[in-house]
């Protein structure tokens, strides 16, 4: 029997693969690439409907020793299951944990997890129907955001400032059964990332987005816009990074964890959601910090041949018991995180990329008459 060798990188989205490949190729190792698409490309292509068994059979047929799974929102749980299948074959896999993938696939479950684990998040309430949504909106106070828990990039998100706008939203958008409402907080949106790094977490600098008023103007920026962080970050940035590291521990992040956070007008940060997958923030953070985490990922699995599941420092929280006391969780002192900083000389490159990405997509927003 042929011995296992070689590394395969499987990316869920061809568009994400396009920007990730140049960063991956900086690693001084050989690797193959596969993706999912309806059309054949230059890399091996799986059908979007391919089963876990079919994908695992391909990996076995090529005798790969190592696999990196670069997930998207819809593929998170499938990739977590695929990782389990491949590991049973003795293949070293870099992928998100089942717990983090489960939370990353359900934003309402995230909100409940934040609330039960003392992680600041805007007040929220489940809104399975219009009646429940109206009641929640009255309790929270307008403006509110209505979201579907299993969608990303602003899909089916409504920023609502009256009963009339909310009723229109439920009529036009037909939200998912488990939609939820959260209080809209005016302020500045920021993002940060934590990379698991085989048990030695790396936290990225805080990257600033536009002020939240772009949501109220009835527009959504699909690719999001990011700007290099202002000089006044200081203590606030460290506080946000600590928040990200603790959340990474508590949800058992074993891959990449992106946090979207809003800083209110008093300077208080609130976690809006976490994305346990490759996010657009990653590209901006690599450029801003000159720290190529994709290269690190490849080198870690190939050069060091170290399993990300050996000497793990993360707490494994029982999903069946979300009320676990935060006091029972390991504190940040149990790890030695690396903090990556911004490099100001990349400002021009960042701005160019922002212009490329930041083309507003006009969305029809249900709006009430002006007060």
φ and ψ at residue 147, rounded to 5 degrees: -135, 155
Confidence at residue 81, expressed as pLDDT on a 0 to 100 scale: 96
Q: Which of 169, 167, 192 is nearest to 243 (CA)?
A: 192
261 forms beta bridges with: 190, 271
List Cβ neighbours of 50 (8 Å cut-off, separation of 6 or more): 36
160-184 pLDDT tens trace: 889 998 888 877 665 555 688 999 9
Three-state DSSP at 259 gives strand
282-306 pLDDT tens trace: 887 787 777 888 988 888 888 765 5
The answer to whether residues 37 and 18 touch, using CB atoms and an 8 Å cutoff, is no
Domains and CATH numbers, the chain: 7-95 (3.40.50.20), 123-184 (3.30.1490.20), 187-357 (3.30.470.20)
Q: Give all strands (DSSP E) within the chain, no chain letters.
A: 7-11, 32-36, 44-46, 66-70, 92-94, 124-126, 144-147, 158-160, 180-183, 187-195, 202-203, 207-211, 219-220, 256-264, 269-275, 338-339, 361-362
Confidence at residue 213, expressed as pLDDT on a 0 to 100 scale: 47
Confidence at residue 330, expressed as pLDDT on a 0 to 100 scale: 31
Q: Which of 27, 92, 35 is nearest to 278 (CA)?
A: 35
Q: N- to C-terminal Cα distance for the chain?
A: 74
Confidence at residue 309, expressed as pLDDT on a 0 to 100 scale: 32
184-212 per-residue burial string, b: 16 or more CB within 10 A, e: under 16: bbebbbbbbbbbbbbbebbbbbbbbbbeb
Confidence at residue 340, expressed as pLDDT on a 0 to 100 scale: 67
φ and ψ at residue 124, rounded to 5 degrees: -150, 170
Q: Which of 72, 48, 62, 45 is nearest to 6 (CA)?
A: 62
Query: What is the block-wise mean pLDDT of the chain (371 residues), using blocks of 10 residues?
Result: 82 88 89 89 89 95 95 91 94 94 90 91 90 92 84 68 87 66 87 87 77 48 43 73 91 93 89 89 77 87 55 27 29 50 55 50 36 36
Q: CA Rg, the chain, in Å?
A: 21
pTM of the model: 0.79
Confidence at residue 354, expressed as pLDDT on a 0 to 100 scale: 52
Confidence at residue 256, expressed as pLDDT on a 0 to 100 scale: 94
Distance CA 94, CA 110 (A): 23
Confidence at residue 156, expressed as pLDDT on a 0 to 100 scale: 66
């Amino acid at each position: 029997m042929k011995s296992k060798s070689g590394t395969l990188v499987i990316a869920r989205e061809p568009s994400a693969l396009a920007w990730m490949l140049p960063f991956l190729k900086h690693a001084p190792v050989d690797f193959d690439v596969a993706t999912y698409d309806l059309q054949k490309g230059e890399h091996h292509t799986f059908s979007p409907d391919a089963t876990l068994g079919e994908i695992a059979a391909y990996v076995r047929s090529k005798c790969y020793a190592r696999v990196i799974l670069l997930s998207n929102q819809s593929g998170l749980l499938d990739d977590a299951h695929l990782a389990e299948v491949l590991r049973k074959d003795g293949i070293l896999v870099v992928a998100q944990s089942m717990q983090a993938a489960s939370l990353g696939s359900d934003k309402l479950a995230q909100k409940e997890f934040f609330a039960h684990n003392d992680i600041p998040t805007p007040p929220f309430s489940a809104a399975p129907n219009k009646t429940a949504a109206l009641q929640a909106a009255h309790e929270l106070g307008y403006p509110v955001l209505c979201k579907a828990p299993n969608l990303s990039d602003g899909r089916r998100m409504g920023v609502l400032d009256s009963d009339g706008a909310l009723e229109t939203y439920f009529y036009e958008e037909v939200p998912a059964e488990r939609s939820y409402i959260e209080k809209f907080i005016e302020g500045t949106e920021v993002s940060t990332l934590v990379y698991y790094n085989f048990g030695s977490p790396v936290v990225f600098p805080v990257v600033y987005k536009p002020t939240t008023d772009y949501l109220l103007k009835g527009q959504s920026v699909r690719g999001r816009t990011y700007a290099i962080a202002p000089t006044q970050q200081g203590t606030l940035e460290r506080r946000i990074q600590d928040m990200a590291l603790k959340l990474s521990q508590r949800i058992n992040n074993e891959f990449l964890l992106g946090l979207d956070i809003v800083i209110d007008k008093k300077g208080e940060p609130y976690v809006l959601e976490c994305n346990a997958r490759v996010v657009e923030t990653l590209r901006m953070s690599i450029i801003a910090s000159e720290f190529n985490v994709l290269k690190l990922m490849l080198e870690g699995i190939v050069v060091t041949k170290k399993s990300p599941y050996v000497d793990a420092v993360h707490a494994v929280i029982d999903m069946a018991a979300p009320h676990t006391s935060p006091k029972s969780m390991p504190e940040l002192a149990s790890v030695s995180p690396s903090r990556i900083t911004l490099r100001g000389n990349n400002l021009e490159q960042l701005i160019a990329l922002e212009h490329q990405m930041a083309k507003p997509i006009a969305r029809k927003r249900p709006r009430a008459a002006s007060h």
